[in-house]
Structure 1
Amino acid sequence: MQFDRGYLSPYFSTNKENMSVSFDDAFILIYEKKISSIKE
């Protein structure tokens, strides 16, 4: 995902002190085309 700057919402941050995000057991999707809808 690309954003112009920062987070779209402060609720995306899991650590409010330094505004960082940390995930446990995260999955990463690598796809070479643009995803337009959730059905794809």
Structure 2
Amino acid sequence: MTLTSNNYKVTDINTLIFIYLQHFLLFYCNYKSDNIDTV
């Protein structure tokens, strides 16, 4: 049971990191686009 709980925890963290990275990339791309548009 502890192993299953640990696995779930690790998977949850990985999912959170993946979502965070995706959002960061989207934000970065939007920021870059805005910058280019302004210039």
TM-score normalised by structure 2 residue count:
0.15
* More helix, by proportion: 2
Q: Which has the higher contact order (CA 8 A, sep 6+)?
A: 1
TM-score normalised by structure 1 residue count:
0.15
